Amino acid sequence: MTHNINDRGLAVIVLAAGQGTRMKSSLPKVLHRIGGRPLVGHVIDTALALAPERVVLVVRHERDLVAGTVIEQTPGVVIVDQDDVPGTGRAVELALDALDDFTGDVLVLSGDVPLLDSDTLTGLVGAHRDGSAAATVLSAVLEDATGYGRVIRDAEGAVTRIVEQKDATPDEAAVHEINAGVYVFEAQALRAHLSLVGTANAQGEKYLTDVVALLRDSRLVVAAASAPDAAAALGVNDRVQLAEAARLLNARTVRRWQLEGATILDPATTWIDVDAKLASDVTVLPNTHILGATVVDAGATIGPDTSLVHCEVGENATVTRTDATLAVIGAGATVGPFAYLRPGTHLGARGKIGTFVETKNSTIGERSKVPHLSYIGDTTIGTGVNLGAGAITANYDDIAKHRTEIGDEVHTGSHNVFVAPVRIGDGAKTGAGAVVRKDVPAGALALSIAPQRNIEGWVESNRPGTGAADVAARARSAQKADDGSQEEDR
């Protein structure tokens, strides 16, 4: 649901300048992915649901990589570079400069808080405006608040300041109400007080949180709104928290599709990316990953033990124990078990890609079957085709790839090799073991026949002393004795 907050202007600042050293990664923290998107991508997507006038992203570490990733997802975002002055306060100060003379409310988000939802943010902005506050902080109560800034209140419950854990006294560190790193500020009050913030703290940084105490000193209203779901406030600072955020997001996504009419038998082992779509009456069996922008139509059954990445699955199709990427599976088609569909695979309606079959850059027509033990690459297959077991399209000659074209209603024998480029005409047939190097006319039977040659005694001569040689010698002796007995009978 999209919420349009239009009482007065709203701008969004997303903080994404940090390195995230606790991730122990060459990749910037905000670009680590859960649910198929980078952390910062989730944050921006949620912010856009509030229809802000402008979105500003503050970057520093791996600036080009972070900015490029975000712009690819959301082209309208304004990029601001943080200078050598460290801290969230300085980042917001620079972002405000990019907002020029904006006078509405400023929503400040951290790029590493991916579980925020639009309802939580709408409630935060609404509480801020209803309370005529200069600043409103999103808070949450956590059993383990380690690593988070604490929200400190006075005896009447009013917010007095926010203290980072490294600067907290023992009493402050014992507080379980944490700062989620999400704020709404009245723009003019924020500008006026940011210039007063110093760097006299354990980190030597210009903290945005110090603005809270300064606003209080100016007798302006500072409020805190508690997140309805504490998980929405969870930040990601290390790999443990990344995994937990991924689990919580996935549980939310799975539940959404269950409520939309999909049967998901084992939510704990089913992973669905946020951009995937499931129709009603889809059945998802255990240990299944539906990733990227995969779309599964009504009545399809996926799994168990299946991974679909950016795939399209038609109505009533069945996909079992299969890995597929950038593939299209038609209505009523059957895939697997143990199939591998590489990019560019198009399987027509009621078609089949069976056991231990690999396909790539190939179109397999309606009602056509590649049932087992085959490699089909750079191939076009017509309708009503049946390829025998062990079919191979030899598409690469060490220099270039070549295509194989197989017409309608073609039936091939087992263990065929099609040496591309080659075309098999409509209605043609091939014999078992055929190596097809030339085009086969429509309706023809293609055979690749060489006379069988038996070299008597070869094993005994070339593999003496082996078990095979011993049993062969006994069998040959028995055969000679039997032949001699038959000769005497004559």
Q: Where are the domains of the chain?
A: 10-233, 239-446
Query: Does the active-site annotation cover 372?
Result: yes
Q: Of the residues 372, 402, 411, 415, which is catalytic? A: 372
Task: List the one residue out of 87, 88, 67, 96 whose CA is nearest residue 79.
Answer: 67
Q: Among the residues of 367-466, which ranges form H helices?
A: 458-462
- CATH value of 239-446 in 3.30.70.920, 3.40.1130.10, 2.160.10.10, 3.40.50.620: 2.160.10.10
3-state secondary structure of 142: coil
Specify the pTM: 0.89
CB environment 139-171: b (16+ within 10 A), e (fewer): bbebeebeebbbbbeeeeeebbbbbbeebbeee
The per-residue pLDDT for range 20-69, each reduced to its tens digit, is: 999 999 999 999 999 999 999 999 999 999 999 999 999 999 999 999 99
Give the angle subtended at the CA of 448 by the CAs of 445 and 450, to the nearest 5°. 140
Task: List the one residue out of 127, 137, 128, 241 whose CA is nearest residue 180.
Answer: 137
In the chain, the amino acid numbered 150 is R
Domain boundaries 10-233, corresponding CATH code: 3.90.550.10
Q: Mind listing the pLDDT tens digit of every residue in the chain (490 residues)?
A: 344 444 589 999 999 998 899 999 999 999 999 999 999 999 999 999 999 999 999 999 999 999 999 999 999 999 999 998 889 999 999 999 999 989 999 999 999 999 999 999 999 999 999 999 999 999 998 888 888 889 999 888 888 888 888 889 999 999 999 988 899 999 999 999 998 998 877 788 898 989 988 998 999 999 999 899 888 988 899 999 999 999 999 999 999 999 999 999 999 999 999 999 999 999 999 999 999 999 999 999 999 999 999 999 999 999 999 999 999 999 999 999 999 999 999 999 999 999 999 999 999 999 999 999 999 999 999 999 999 999 999 999 999 999 999 999 999 999 999 999 999 999 999 999 999 999 999 999 999 988 888 999 999 999 999 999 999 999 989 888 777 666 666 6
- Token readout for 365 is 């027509």
